[in-house]
């Protein structure tokens, strides 16, 4: 399991997912704060972190309501279709793609994947253009629209351009050794 | 594999191998090691030969100095020596970094373990031992029995689920010295790519792993 | 940030690429007499005053620094050649063939042998322009990567430095595409009888910078032969 120490993956699983309890359960009142009884009724709704939802779902204790941003008839889908680059995905979920993937794989929903793909495809072009443009003044605002994966992509593009520019301006370079008098001890 | 390299004959390969100097080989071993996500086969013979050459050259430079050979010539030999040593050191160091990163994975995978040199194996064993000792001392020994493994999340885990391993499907950039023809990218056999000489390709590492191992393509 | 353990970090630093470029051969005209040098990296020389000979760049630069030779700018570094390249680079979406290490070589020569390059100023600005046009095209090319199939990317005639610069972005983006379009994520239209169909769809290869998406291996081979 390669992702065990992956902090991004851990945080992605903290994202809340709306669920519906299939059975009543005692002693888990903290999951449903609507009343003081220390239990949840069958059919009650709760938003739980993904890591917990997965375990409950696999035991058929809860059903998952696909979060609105991935839903087939959601506003997010319409917005993406209209102008993907400027949709604030971060506010939907900073782990939009990761969470989408996890939910899609868990509940075997085949409509989420193509949607994520289209979203990424249209948005990453913009990320690229902005990363390479390097006009630092405009970036902070733009970055607030991006999900974590997109920000990493942006940083990857930007830092390699920056490293190249530094080298061109005469940054640290491999020195051809100024020789004589510099001897290595024979081993 | 069988879909690739139809035209190249064994004689060709032999010829290109013979015309490649150790300096070139060391450079490509270094490049591949730096770019590949996993640890590659230790280039035992090459390292051995390079070490010998370095030593010979050091002795020679020493002699030149003693014999009062023109300082310019000596300095040029020294640069050549420094360049070769840089490659060798960086090669070995890159490997050590990978060993540190994936030590538990390498340790339990016989195939990868065998890619290490004797010294590297010794290093890996000691390194793994030290890490385990440290984890035991500082944390694990104070946890309940079923959580004391440094490899598994709990006694209920069915496999070593806390061991980081290299991501073989990460993408690499590669270049072939010669035309390899249609090469099969995935297991299903439906993805083919024409690998032409001297062009660059960005591909998942695992799809060209055999070509890297056989020396047909270089990672760049 | 994951720092050095980040698998997406550049595999090579610019300085390391420069190191590799220093092994490229270049013509020098020595002004000293020196016997052949038998290096680990190869045999060079002998060197005779005013007799042009070939040497690796690092050696050329080392001699130049000590005033022992002049360096002859490579053929591609002439105003004529570069003007042609720049025009072709502007007219076409393809990348013009240039030495694999052209960025590093030109910087090394400008740094250490400026006086040996005819029309230095022109040459320098032409190379800058070519580089800018190419970078712009790289951006355009990357924008056109289509997901849902891009499995491999062909970077025809891209130089070492250019490839290294786009590497972190490209590999990361391709990995996300790869993940999002895995068969678990995307619906298969039909499971059993789609072999034929998939075969016709051809390889999922984006022939970036070549202006065409190859339809099938046979097409690709045909195009190869035509060239």
Interface size, chain B vs chain C, as Cβ–Cβ contacts under 8 Å: 130
Has residue B50 got a pLDDT over 80? yes
Mean pLDDT of C17-44: 96
What pLDDT was estimated at residue A165? 87
Contact C15 A173 (CB under 8 A): yes
Q: Is residue C215 part of a domain?
A: yes
The stretch C115-132 carries a mean pLDDT of 94
Please state whether the peptide bond connecting residue C46 to the residue before it is cis, i.e. omega within 30 degrees of 0.
yes
Residue C41: inside a domain: yes
Predicted confidence at residue A162, as pLDDT, reads: 86
pLDDT > 90? residue C116: yes
On the question of pLDDT at B144 being above 70, the answer is yes
User: N- to C-terminal Cα distance for chain A?
Assistant: 43
Average pLDDT over residues A70-86: 83
With 0-12 / 13-18 / 19 or more C-beta atoms within 10 angstroms meaning exposed / middle / buried, residue B84 is buried
Q: Are residues A71 and A40 in the same domain?
A: no
Task: Confirm or reject contact between C207 and chain B (CB < 8 A).
Answer: no
Q: Which chains would you list as touching A if contact means 3+ CB atom pairs under 8 Å? A: B, C
Task: For residue C153, give how far its alpha carbon lies from the nearest alpha carbon of chain B (Å).
Answer: 5
Q: Are residues A73 and A159 in the same domain?
A: yes
* pTM (global) more than 0.90: no
Nearest-Cα distance to chain B for A73, in Å, is 34
Residue A18 pLDDT greater than 60, yes or no: yes
CATH number, residue A107 = 1.20.58.2050
In a domain? residue A185: no
Distance from the Cα of A33 to chain B's closest Cα (Å) equals 31
Q: With contact defined as beta carbons under 8 Å apart, do C167 and C14 qualify?
A: no
Domain count, chain C: 2
Residue B171 has pLDDT above 80, yes or no: yes
Smallest CA–CA distance, residue A113 to chain C, in Å, is 5
- Give percent of chain C above pLDDT 90: 57
* pLDDT band of A150, cuts 50, 70, 90: very high
Q: Name chain B contacts of C171, Cβ cutoff 8 Å.
A: 170-173, 202
Asked if B164's CB is within 8 angstroms of A179's CB, the reply is no
- Residue of C131, C147, C170 best to disrupt the A interface, most CBs of A under 10 A: C147
Residue B182 main-chain phi, psi, to 5 deg? -70, 125
A58, A72: one domain: no
**A146 and A158 fall within a common domain:** yes
> What is the average pLDDT value for chain B, to the nearest integer?
89
- When pLDDT is cut at 50, 70 and 90, the band that residue C214 belongs to is very low
What is the average per-residue pLDDT within C172-192?
Answer: 70
- Tell whether C21 is covered by a domain: yes
Whether pLDDT at B126 is above 90:
yes
Q: What is the mean pLDDT of residues B161-180?
A: 90
> Do A119 and A29 share a domain, yes or no?
no
The pLDDT value given to residue A187: 45
What's the ipTM? 0.87
**Per-residue model confidence (pLDDT) at position C149:** 56
pLDDT tens-place string over residues B176-215: 988 888 887 766 556 678 888 888 999 899 989 999 999 9
Residue C219 lies in a domain: yes
Higher pLDDT, B9 or A128: A128
- A43 vs B33, which has greater pLDDT? B33
Do residues A53 and A4 share a domain?
A: yes
Question: What are B130-141's pLDDT values in tens digits?
Answer: 999 999 999 999
Q: Is residue A186 part of a domain?
A: no
- Domain final residue, candidates A10, A36, A65: A65
- Would C167 be classed as within a structural domain? yes
Closest CA–CA distance from residue C81 to any residue of chain A (Å):
23
Indicate if A91 and A160 belong to the same structural domain: yes
pLDDT band at A86 (very low <50, low <70, confident <90, very high): confident
End residue of a domain, out of C50, C72, C94: C72
Interface check C58 vs A, CB under 8 A? yes
Same domain, A79 and A57: no
> Higher model confidence: residue C76 or residue B19?
C76
Rounded to whole angstroms, the Cα distance separating A52 from A106 reads 12
C165 touches chain A (CB under 8 A): yes
Give the pLDDT mean for A51-65: 92
Residues A105 and A157 placed together within one structural domain of the fold: yes
Higher pLDDT, B64 or C140: B64
Residues A128 and A59 reside in one and the same domain: no
- Chain C hits for B186, CB-CB cut-off 8 Å, are 151
pLDDT at C75: 95
pLDDT of residue B188: 58
Instruction: Answer yes or no: is pLDDT of A180 > 60.
Output: no
Peptide bond into A20 cis (omega under 30): no
From A25-39, A110-124, B25-39, B116-130, the region with the lowest mean pLDDT: A25-39
- Give the pLDDT of residue A41: 79
Is A181 within a domain? no
CB contact under 8 A, B167 and A182: no
Both A45 and A96 in one domain: the answer is no
Is the separation of the CB atoms in B65 and B125 below 8 Å? Answer: no
* Digit-coded pLDDT (tens) for B81-102: 999 999 999 999 999 999 999 9
- Kind and range of the H or E run holding C53: strand C53-56
**In the structure encoding, which two tokens stand for residue B150, read together?**
């440094």
Domain that holds residue C36: 11-72
pLDDT of residue C211: 25
Q: Is pLDDT above 90 for C101?
A: yes
Residue B8 phi/psi, 5-degree rounding, is -70, 135
Q: Name the residue range of residue A90's domain.
A: 67-169
Contacts of B74 in chain A (CB under 8 A): 179-180
Backbone angles phi, psi at A140, to 5 degrees: -55, -40
Do the beta carbons of residue B50 and residue B88 sit within 8 Å?
Answer: yes
Question: Cβ A128–C143 below 8 Å, yes or no?
Answer: yes
Q: Measured at the alpha carbon of residue B133, what is the angle toward residues B127 and B138, in degrees to the nearest 5? A: 125
Q: What is the DSSP letter of B116?
A: S
**Of the residues C39, C56, C72, the one at which a domain ends:** C72
The number of folded domains in chain A is 2
């Amino acid at each position: 399991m390669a992702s065990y120490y992956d902090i991004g993956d851990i945080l992605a699983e903290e994202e809340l997912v709306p669920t519906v309890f299939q059975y009543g359960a005692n002693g888990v009142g903290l999951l449903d704060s609507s009343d003081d009884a220390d239990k949840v009724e069958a059919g009650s709704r709760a938003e739980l972190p993904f890591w917990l939802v997965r375990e409950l779902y696999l035991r058929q204790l809860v059903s998952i309501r696909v979060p609105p941003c991935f839903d087939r008839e959601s506003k997010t889908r319409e917005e993406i279709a209209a102008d993907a680059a400027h949709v604030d995905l971060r506010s939907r979920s900073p782990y939009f793609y990761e969470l989408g993937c996890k939910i899609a794989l868990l509940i075997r929903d085949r409509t989420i994947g193509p949607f994520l793909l289209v979203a990424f495809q249209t948005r990453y072009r913009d990320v690229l253009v902005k990363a390479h443009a390097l006009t630092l003044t405009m970036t902070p605002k733009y970055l607030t629209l991006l999900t974590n994966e997109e920000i990493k992509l942006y940083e990857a593009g930007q830092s390699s351009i920056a490293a190249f520019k530094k080298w061109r301006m005469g940054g640290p370079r491999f020195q051809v050794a100024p020789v004589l008098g510099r001897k290595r001890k024979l081993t | 594999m069988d879909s690739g390299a139809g035209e190249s004959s064994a004689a060709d390969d032999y010829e290109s191998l013979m015309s490649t100097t150790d300096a070139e080989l060391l450079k490509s071993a270094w490049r591949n090691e730096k770019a590949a996500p996993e640890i590659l086969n230790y280039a035992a013979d090459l390292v051995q030969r390079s070490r010998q050459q370095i030593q010979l050259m050091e002795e020679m430079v020493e002699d030149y100095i003693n014999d009062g050979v023109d300082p310019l010539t000596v300095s040029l030999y020294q640069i050549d020596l420094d360049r070769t040593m840089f490659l060798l050191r960086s090669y070995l160091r890159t490997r050590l970094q990978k060993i540190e990163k994936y030590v538990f994975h390498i340790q339990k995978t016989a195939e990868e373990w065998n890619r290490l040199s004797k010294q590297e194996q010794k290093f890996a064993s000691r390194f793994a031992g030290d890490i385990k000792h440290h984890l035991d001392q500082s944390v694990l020994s104070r946890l309940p029995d079923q959580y004391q493994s440094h490899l598994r999340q709990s006694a209920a885990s069915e496999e070593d689920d806390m061991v980081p391993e290299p991501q073989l499907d990460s993408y690499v950039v590669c270049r072939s010295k010669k035309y390899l023809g249609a090469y099969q990218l995935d297991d299903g056999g439906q993805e083919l790519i024409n690998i032409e000489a001297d062009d660059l390709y960005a591909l998942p590492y695992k799809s060209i792993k055999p070509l890297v191992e056989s020396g047909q393509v270089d990672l760049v | 940030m994951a720092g050095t353990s980040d698998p997406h970090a550049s595999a090579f630093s610019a300085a390391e690429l420069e190191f590799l470029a220093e092994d490229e051969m270049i013509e020098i005209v020595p002004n000293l007499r020196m016997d052949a040098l038998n290096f680990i990296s190869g045999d060079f020389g002998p060197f005779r005053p005013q007799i042009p000979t070939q040497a690796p760049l690092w050696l050329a630069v080392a001699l130049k620094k000590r005033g022992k030779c002049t360096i002859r700018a490579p053929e591609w570094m002439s105003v004529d050649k570069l003007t042609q390249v720049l025009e072709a680079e502007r007219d076409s979406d393809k990348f013009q063939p240039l030495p694999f290490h052209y960025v590093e070589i030109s910087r090394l020569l400008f740094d250490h042998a400026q006086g040996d390059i005819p029309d230095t100023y022109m040459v320098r600005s032409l190379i800058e322009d070519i580089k800018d046009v190419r970078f712009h095209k790289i951006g355009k090319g990357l924008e056109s990567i289509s997901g849902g199939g891009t499995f491999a990317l062909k970077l025809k005639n891209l130089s070492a430095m250019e490839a290294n610069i786009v590497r972190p972005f490209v590999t990361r983006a391709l990995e996300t595409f790869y993940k999002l379009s895995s068969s678990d994520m995307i619906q298969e239209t039909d499971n059993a009888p789609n072999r034929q169909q998939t075969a016709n769809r051809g390889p999922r290869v984006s022939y970036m910078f070549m202006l065409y998406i190859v339809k099938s291996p046979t097409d690709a081979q045909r195009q190869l032969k035509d060239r």
